[in-house]
Each structure stands twice: as C-alpha cells, then as structure tokens.
Structure 1
Amino acid sequence: MSAQEISKAEAKVFVISAIALSVTVCNAAFWYGVFGKIFFTHIIYVWAAATAALLASLFIPRMETPLLKLPWRGRFILALPTIWLVLGAFIDMESYRPNSIGTWTLWAVTLASAFLTLPYLLYVMIVAVVPDIDRLTHVKLRVALPAIVLLIGVAGFILGTSHTRLLTCENFKIGGHHVPENCRKAGEAPY
C-alpha cells in the first residue's frame, strides 16, 4: 500500500487515535509496573468517564453516528463500573467468603468492567474526539492502531517495572506520588 492511498483525513484520525489511546493505556500500565496494582484513581477515572458518556448519551437524539447511536448493550457496558461500585459498597469484604454468591457476582462484574468497559469507553471517547474514525478504511491502519497501543502499554509496564533505572525516590516525592519501597535513593547507581 502506498502512502498516496491513505488520505490526509485518514492519516490525521490514525495519529490522533494512536496518541489518545496510547497515553491512556501507558499511564495505567506504568503505575501497574511500579506497584503491581491498579490504583483506585484509575478505576474512578474509568467510572467517571463511563458514567458521563452514559448520561450524555441519554440527552442527545439518536443519530446515525456510532457515538450517538449507543445500543442498550453499549449503555449496559458503560453502566458496569457503577454496578461494580454499588456492589462493592454493599458486599462486606471484611467477612470475605470466597464461595458466596456476592463474592462471585462482584468478581464477575469487576472482570466485565475491566475487559468490556475500558475498551468500549476508549472507543466511545475516540469517536467523540475524532468523529472521522470511520475513515480508517485501510486494513494496515486498523491493525496498526491496536498494535501501537499494545506496544506503548507494554513499554509503559516495562518502564514501570524498571523505574529504579530511571527515577529516584525523590522523583516520586516531587511528583506527589507514593514512594515505592524499591525506589532508588538519590546518588545511588541505577543498576
């Protein structure tokens, strides 16, 4: 495929989509690499964005664009983080019972929120920010986009797990973050 076959609009959509998706994924992957945990703030961001998209979709007329034509399944997927929060508030984790219906339900909703809501939310956000996303007609670009996002996500994770080579404890403090136990003190060799 030659560069002439890819239109300017398609190239623009591709670049903007790759940047927006990669930044979102890299941030969570980096912190997961540093601490081995997904921070509650990342979960709250997903909840806030999903809930805002869901509520906004209720106030706009149904039009023939992917974003404004959210099916009931899409709205349900966007509601999963709220369902997760409500279940989490009512299931007593202090008396955690691994085989209880409540625990299994919370576990299932947590997995659905992670593996369904986040990708769908990213899709909705990209369609909202880049209304010409449907112009990605070339298979090369459709395959390259998730590959770039995955590559950047893996790179973010690797940077997070290798933070002692790049950052000191002071960098985390100055940035206003929790200081990891295995951080490198200022003046220590990074290896």
Structure 2
Amino acid sequence: MSDGSTPRRVRHPLVGLAVVGVSLTVWWPAFTLGAWGQLFFDQVLTVWVAATATFVVVAFQPRPSPHRIRRLIALAIPSVWLALSFAGRPGGGPILVGIDALAFVIAIAGVPFTSWVLARIFWPDFGDGIPRRIVALGLAVIALMVVASFVLGTQQARFLTCQDFALSGNSNPPGCVDATTGR
C-alpha cells in the first residue's frame, strides 16, 4: 500500500457459515446426551443418511479429487456401524458396547466431517487460504457449542419443564420438573 493506508483484512464469510451450520447440527445430539444420557437413533441415522448421500456424490464426482479414497473410507464408517448393529444385537456383550461407542463417535464427529466434505465438494476452494488460526477458532467455537449444549442438557430441569419436552414431542428426560407441581 503506497498511499499509507492500512491493509484490508481478508474476510472468510464461508467459515462463519460453516461454523453456524455445524453448530446447529451438533447441538441437539450433545443436548440429548446431557439430558437423557444417550443419543437417539434418529440422530445417528441422520448422520448415516448424510454420509451415505455424500459418499455417492464423492464416488461419482466427474472431476478428480486428490483425497477421494480417504473421504470415501471415512464416509463409509456410518454404514459399517449400521451393518455391525444388525450383526451385533442378538448376543450383546462387549461387541455391543463397541458398536454403541462407534455410534457415539459417528454422531459427534460425523456431522462436522460430512459438512466439511460437502463444503469442499460444492466450493472446491473452500478452506484454501484460510489461516490456521481462523480454522482453529471455528473448531473451538463448534467444540464450545457441543460442550455448552451438553451442559444445558444436564441442567434442563433448571430452565425447562416436563411439559416443554412433551409439547415438543419428546419423552421426559430423567429429573425433568413438572410445571404444575414444580417437582
């Protein structure tokens, strides 16, 4: 800059959009884990649907992708979990615990990963030129939203009632407070 003015900051609006989008998708699984102590099947199956659809898009992309095989393997993990769930239910035991642990990882980590892959498909240059500190800040905000949502779930009796859960079509989590009795 020869005119003496300060250089303009480069803006990355898509990073903000990605952070908001991923935060919106991970808050409910984190909240339910806090409130009910478990993830609901529909949350994990939602990740499976998104990952499977993204798998098909990545597999049949007309242009070459340098990380296609790694993405396909990662996107197949929810389908592997689903297949293992069919195989592991009758006997239970340690295999079932492992399958449930994989479901937890898929629900929490699968959403951000699938979102990232989709963003890179539709905006191939998304992420290019973004400083690591901006990426780290975005990941930190998402992690903060997950932790805050989990804590809100554990503290739901302080600001929600059983009627709130019933009205929204959910079952009552342990410890919810009845609006009429306060207990």
TM-score w.r.t. structure 2 length? 0.81
Displacement of 1:15 in angstroms is 1.4
Displacement of 1:14 in angstroms is 2.3
Partners of 2:44 and 2:106 within 8 A in 1: no
Q: Which amino acid aligns with 1:165?
A: R
Aligned 1:104-119 pairs, distance under 5 A: 106=99, 110=103, 113=106, 117-119=110-112
Q: Which amino acid aligns with 1:26?
A: W
What's the counterpart of residue 6 of structure 1? 9
Partners of 1:13 and 1:132 within 8 A in 2: no
What's the counterpart of residue 39 of structure 1? 40
Do residues 147 (structure 1) and 148 (structure 2) align? no
Do residues 95 (structure 1) and 88 (structure 2) align? no
Displacement of 1:60 in angstroms is 2.0
What's the counterpart of residue 78 of structure 2? 81
Q: What do residues 132-185 of structure 1 show as CA deviations (whole Å, max 9, x unaligned)?
A: 532452233122101100111111111111111111111101101111131111
**2:127 partner SS:** helix
What's the counterpart of residue 179 of structure 2? 186
Percent of aligned pairs with the same amino acid: 28
Partners of 2:58 and 2:68 within 8 A in 1: no
RMSD after superposition = 2.9
What's the counterpart of residue 3 of structure 2? none
**Gap runs ≥5 in structure 1:** none
**Gap runs ≥5 in structure 2:** 1-5
Q: Which amino acid aligns with 1:95?
A: G
**1:182 partner SS:** coil
Q: Which amino acid aligns with 2:28?
A: N
Tell me: CA distance 1:6–1:17, structure 2 relative to 1, closer, same or farther (3 Å).
Answer: farther
Tell me: CA distance 1:156–1:17, structure 2 relative to 1, closer, same or farther (3 Å).
Answer: same
Displacement of 1:115 in angstroms is 7.2
**2:174 partner SS:** coil
TM-score w.r.t. structure 1 length? 0.78
Aligned 1:114-133 pairs, distance under 5 A: 117-128=110-121, 132-133=125-126
Q: How many residues align?
A: 178
Tell me: CA distance 1:105–1:71, structure 2 relative to 1, closer, same or farther (3 Å).
Answer: farther
Partners of 2:59 and 2:68 within 8 A in 1: no
Tell me: CA distance 1:69–1:51, structure 2 relative to 1, closer, same or farther (3 Å).
Answer: farther
Displacement of 1:25 in angstroms is 1.6
